[in-house]
Amino acid sequence: MIARAPFTLPRDRRGAVAVEFAIAITPLLLCFFCFYQVALISTAKMFVRHSAVVGARAAIVIMPPNPGAAGTEADVHRAVRASAGTWGRTGTLEFQERITDSEPGSENSNVTVAVTATFKCGVPLGKNVVCGQGGTTTLTDSATLPKQGANYQ
């Protein structure tokens, strides 16, 4: 009978470091992309808040009963979109605004502008984990300012 040698592992380990690197870098990249996507969403939330404040300010300044060539609701919508800068121009944020006056026609009422924006996530890997399968998230904020009006008669 022939005696067999015990099974031994090959001594050649040239690809081991590459395999270990691939295993280690995958979760690290996923974490990095998720953190980056969350940072973008936080920045977009800040822009939505700023757009709501700008819209409320525009509404109390240019809408009736202010004297002179008063603006319209369309001017308030334009101010909200312009305040988002490149976020609004590139289509990353799509805005919907709602303007509410607590006492229409009164000089001393509160004006509330609610801004809802759809944020399109675009970071590879991060958008699926943070934003879900649709790749979008909805950001909502509102601002209320008093008209602080005066009787112009």
Mean pLDDT by 10 residues, the chain (153 residues): 68 80 92 92 92 89 68 83 80 81 76 90 86 87 82 56
Residue 4 lies in a domain: no
Residue 6 lies in a domain: no
**Are the C-beta atoms of residues 130 and 37 closer than 8 Å to each other?**
yes
Residue 53 lies in a domain: yes
Q: Is 30 exposed, middle or buried (0-12, 13-18, 19+ CB in 10 A)?
A: middle
| 51: amino acid identity, one letter | S
CA separation for the pair 151, 153 (Å, rounded): 6
- Number of folded domains that form the chain: 1
The reported pLDDT for the residue numbered 53 is 93
Q: Residue 71's domain spans which residues?
A: 18-146
Residue 56 lies in a domain: yes
Residue 23 lies in a domain: yes
Name the residue with tokens 């590459």: 18
The reported pLDDT for the residue numbered 126 is 85
Name the residue with tokens 């808040």: 49
- The model's pTM is 0.76
